[in-house]
Structures are given as structure tokens and as C-alpha cells.
Structure 1
Amino acid sequence: MPTSLVRIGTWLHARAENLLALMLGIMFTVFILQIVFRYLLNFPIGWTHEVSVIMWIWMVLFGSAFVVRDSEEIRFDILYGAARGRLRRAMVATTGLIFVALFSISLPAVVDYITFMKVEKTAYLDIRFDYLYSIYGIFALAMIVRQLWLTGRAVWGKDEESFDPTRSGSGV
């Protein structure tokens, strides 16, 4: 891969991490604000709960789509770790094609539901639900692209680095 594309990808990944950290900061801030208003001032406010839930949903889906690397994904480590070479690549290609098929089949219904939800708004902040749910459509598209990429690498013989179960969930 050309170094310019690698640099751009690295920069975009860093910005996605920054955005995820910002979302976490917002969620933490409104959570603390909610506690202060509810328990110290005896004046519960609802919009803080709404923002916390929105940030949580966006953090999970945005993070899964753009920040979490494939090596950090959850796997059946016992089966995957025992497989080598062609078998491992076949497992990656098979699961990749299954995920591509499932996300692709569901995509029209997802888009239809997201566009339908423009008629509803959140209770406190009056944010349209189609804006809030749009992250799932973005997530689904990102998963299709990611799984196609992984399937292509597996089919063309690009084996991942040797699997080390001690590093599997550590993010190293």
C-alpha cells in the first residue's frame, strides 16, 4: 500500500479516536452533571440522561466501525487459535462472507427504518431520531467494507500475524 494512503489512514484513525474520546468526555460530563442536579440540588434534569444514552450508542457503533482494529475484535479464540494457514484463512473468509451477506441483506431495511424515524424526536432535546439512528447505517456500511477487505486478504493468501491468545484482547 502506498505510504501516502497509510499516512492518511493513520491520520483518520487518530481523528476517529479523538472523536471517540470527545464523546466519552461528553458522556462523563453530563453523567456527573446529572448526579449533581439529582442528588445534591434535588432538581432532576432529563436531558442529561438523553445525552448519555445518545453518546453511549454512538460510542459503541462509531468505535466499532472506525476505531477498533480487527485484532481487537471478539473471536472464538480456542478454535481460531488452533487453526493455521489455509484453515484460518478459510475461517476468516467464511465468516467475512456471512457478515457481508447479513449486513447487505439488512441494509435496505435499515435505511428504510432510519428514514422513517424522521417523524419522531427525542423527548427533551427534540433531536430527530433519523439523525441519531444514522450511526447504525454508517456502522453497517463500515462492517461490509471491513469484512470484504478481510475476506479479500484471506482469499489472496495474506495470513494474519501468528495468533497469540495472550494478546488477543489486550489491544496491543
Structure 2
Amino acid sequence: MGTARRLIGWARRRAEEVLSALLVAMFIAFILQIVTRYLLNAPLSWTAEFSTLAWVWGILWGAGLVLRDDEEIRFDILYGTMPGGLRRICDAITGSAVVMIFTWSLPAMFDYVTFMKVERSAYLGIRFDILYSVYLIFAVATIIRHAAIAWRAVTGRGIARGAA
């Protein structure tokens, strides 16, 4: 199990580095847009598109691969007041529901993303299937994460002690 934990830790650090690179690239494009528009009076069209795409990738990449369970937003007002057994039941139900819904919708998501190869972004000319492929990564990561949450709830491992 130690090797698996090290591998997961290594993959998590690489995912964090990708997210950091996206944020840096987005910031540079944003600053470049400000400089060219307001100081040079020669705006660049691609920077706004790039910033938007980097933001979408950053949100979905981060939510799918970087965000830890204890960092997720939850309804703590109710969840925090529940005893451990009731939390386990809620975690099992919600985790299973997320897994079922995302698994059920995954083929349609895949079809839509692959269909989008016919479109390209306006300024950068990148195919939309490449741009939106991050959603498939997010969906698969969400399925795996919530399957683990449901499994831990059913087996009694990793029960949340306090409000998330």
C-alpha cells in the first residue's frame, strides 16, 4: 500500500503543478492584455480567449484532481451537527448518487466532447474537443472520488469528525 500512496502523492503534486502553471499562464495573458490595451492602445484578441480557457481548465482540473475531500464545499450547518453514523449514511447516499449520475451521463458527455471536434475557438483556433476534454477528466475523477467517499462511508473508514 505504501507504493500506491507514494504514486498517488506524486500524481497529486504533478496535478498541482499543472494547475499552478495554468494560473501563471492566465495571469501573464491577463497582464499582457492590460499592457497592450491600455498602455500600447493595441489590444490582443487572443489573450481574453486564452484567459477564459485557462480559467475553465483550472477550475475543472483543480476540482477533479487537486481538491481534497475536506476542501469541498458542503452544507456544514446540517452535516456538522449530525452524529457519525448519520454522516456515514449521508456520505454513502450522496457519494453513490454522484457516482450513478456521472457514470450514467459519461457516455453522453464523451459523445458531445468528441462531436465538438468540428468547432474551433475563435482566436486560437484550438479544436473544442481538445478544449473540453478536461470535462471528461473532471467527470472520471469525480466518479472515482465519490466512489471512494461512498466506500469509506459503508466500511466506516475515514469518517469526518468535524465540519468540513
TM-score after normalising by structure 2: 0.97
* Contact map agreement 2:26 2:51 (CA 8 A) in 1: yes
What value does the CA root-mean-square deviation take over the aligned residues? 1.0
CA offsets 1:79-120 (integer angstroms, 9 cap, x no match): 111112211100000001111121112111111110110000
Shift of 1:161: 4.1
Structure 1: any 5+ residue segments left out of the alignment? Answer: none
Find the counterpart in structure 1 of residue 83 from structure 2: 84
Find the counterpart in structure 2 of residue 96 from structure 1: 95
Find the counterpart in structure 1 of residue 152 from structure 2: 153
Structure 2: any 5+ residue segments left out of the alignment? Answer: none
Find the counterpart in structure 2 of residue 56 from structure 1: 55
Cα distance in 2 between the residues matched to 1:35 and 1:12: 35
* Contact map agreement 2:84 2:159 (CA 8 A) in 1: no
The one-letter code sitting in structure 2 at the alignment partner of 1:78 is I
The one-letter code sitting in structure 1 at the alignment partner of 2:10 is W
* Contact map agreement 2:33 2:44 (CA 8 A) in 1: yes
Q: 56-65 or 78-87: which moved more?
A: 78-87
The one-letter code sitting in structure 2 at the alignment partner of 1:98 is A
CA offsets 1:97-152 (integer angstroms, 9 cap, x no match): 11112111211111111011000001111100000001001111110111111101
Find the counterpart in structure 2 of residue 12 from structure 1: 11
The one-letter code sitting in structure 1 at the alignment partner of 2:105 is S
